[in-house]
Structure 1
């Protein structure tokens, strides 16, 4: 069985999508349409903007979605998933790719999500860091020992956990984690995603989700909150909302997909982070990517 996975924030890079725009008429139509829907030129930011520009949540989320969605649609009949998953923001890219959301609705919802998150980022001095080489329970215990708010946000692979919170608390946690870790690195994101800092925007995002028309997806989606498959629209919407303040259970998601028969994983979108994580989780499965 063939699984397709879609990356999230942090995978953006300057110039993303520019080559695709120049080689695909379909891509041109979607990119130009996105500029009209958003009311500003996201293509200018993607094609000509700096890494600092793209780090801003209000730009990075729609940019990554566009890159991923257009690549999926440009594949035509080669995009034939038996199941899908997306890492954080990538969950919305996956839903649009399997026709649970139309292009305009997905882009508008992502823009609202990104704008709400950006507001929190501008108010709070927060961030995220990845810890490699320590087990989940150790990272969680260290976070609990730190003054201030810092929590595990992404359980990416065995002994790879992303922590999220206020920068002062992250710095303290990182100092405590470094002696036992292989590496501890700050991530190129502008906020404490999947943490209690996202609580103030839950109702705002819930309203946006409720206003958006969802359809039954054409294959199961394995969602971040529990890593289990669903085609039920109400559950999908609930999980999207809960995802804001809950950790991304990525390792659990991939293990459940493999348990359910996935033997090949294709990453669609910028970078190669997810296929690397899949290989760490299970070296026996086949991985590739379209970027």
Structure 2
């Protein structure tokens, strides 16, 4: 059988909060050997919380809602990291990594800034600190930051709404605590702006979680932080992570309260060269954003998601992506104790 070869180097895109959905990548568990082994290793490293997380991931009715940070964040990290490992095992090695929010921590682990035990410790700490965060959330708006300025608080106001992410031109995410976020949502509706809630229960990437970001830094102080073995295009800075940043605990912890500069990072990456942008995570949200970039629209770069938008069809999408990337899809493997794929 012939396999299509893209001819471009691979840049891996790793999604963050909002991409999660029930059943994400579950069809691969027990069928794709490397993915399954890495997921099991991560759950084991997480200890008792990992076993609860695994049970919720595989359950039809999880005990903790998927949108809660205690579930969504470690699962997004684990799925992204495990897909990256499985892709490498299939012979396709990314030469660049770009992660959105918690996806940047998965990128750091794939690039060996921390090892997987360190990554599990980071995710446990992230869940712990975010359990103390105020109620809030994220709001995606089809507008520019300048157009949204009248609705925003000061950059250091923990009670205000701020820019939480720059995802694309005229695609901005607001972040902040309640009740102010809901008030801004109503104000935008009254002014004729379209918006939608991003599935999140905490005000990530806003001053409301500045205290949590400072507390989060403590876990990085306990870990050896190494220079990335693969370039990471940071969505905190919009540039490649340098040696000094990689070794600084605050750099990694501070992104919890800092805006996500996805589009600036993607723009800088694609100015550096032509790539096949491979999304390693659920939902295809980053794929949809990347397809808006002029380099992709012009055909110089391409986009390949490894998973479908929903739970159904994960195995078929994975196999099709490997064919498109020039790798033979693996044969299905069953492991004791793994669920049968739906």
The question of 1:37 aligning with 2:66 is answered no
Change in 2 beyond 3 A, CA 1:253/1:154: same
**Counterparts of 2:179 and 2:30, CA distance in 1:** 43
Q: Secondary structure at the match of 2:166?
A: strand
The question of 1:168 aligning with 2:168 is answered no
The question of 1:101 aligning with 2:114 is answered yes
Deviation (angstroms), 1:92: 0.8
Q: What's 1:71 paired with?
A: 83
Deviation (angstroms), 1:13: 1.4
**Counterparts of 1:148 and 1:95, CA distance in 2:** 31
Within-5 A mapping of 1:103-122: 103-120=116-133
The question of 1:223 aligning with 2:231 is answered no
Would the aligned equivalents of 2:111 and 2:231 in 1 still touch at CA under 8 Å? no
**Counterparts of 1:22 and 1:234, CA distance in 2:** 37
Q: What's 1:250 paired with?
A: 262
How many residues matched? 286
Would the aligned equivalents of 2:121 and 2:219 in 1 still touch at CA under 8 Å? no
Q: Structure 1: which 5+ residue stretches go unaligned?
A: none
Calculate the aligned-residue CA RMSD, in Å: 2.2
Deviation (angstroms), 1:260: 1.1
Q: Secondary structure at the match of 2:129?
A: helix
Q: What's 1:129 paired with?
A: 139
What do residues 104-126 of structure 1 show as CA deviations (whole Å, max 9, x unaligned)? 21121122112211221xxx231
Q: What's 1:142 paired with?
A: 151
Deviation (angstroms), 1:162: 0.7
Would the aligned equivalents of 1:214 and 1:233 in 2 still touch at CA under 8 Å? no
Deviation (angstroms), 1:147: 12
Deviation (angstroms), 1:8: 0.4
Give the TM-score normalised by the residue count of structure 2.
Answer: 0.78
The question of 1:28 aligning with 2:40 is answered no
Which deviates more, 209-218 or 88-97? 209-218
> Which structure has the highest strand share of the two?
1
Would the aligned equivalents of 1:205 and 1:241 in 2 still touch at CA under 8 Å? yes
Give the TM-score normalised by the residue count of structure 1.
Answer: 0.90
Q: What's 1:177 paired with?
A: 188
> Which structure has the highest helix share of the two?
1
Would the aligned equivalents of 1:152 and 1:164 in 2 still touch at CA under 8 Å? yes
Deviation (angstroms), 1:221: 0.6
Change in 2 beyond 3 A, CA 1:32/1:223: same
Q: Structure 2: which 5+ residue stretches go unaligned?
A: 1-8, 308-342
Deviation (angstroms), 1:59: 1.4
Larger radius of gyration: 2
The question of 1:6 aligning with 2:14 is answered yes
Which deviates more, 277-286 or 85-94? 277-286
The question of 1:154 aligning with 2:154 is answered no
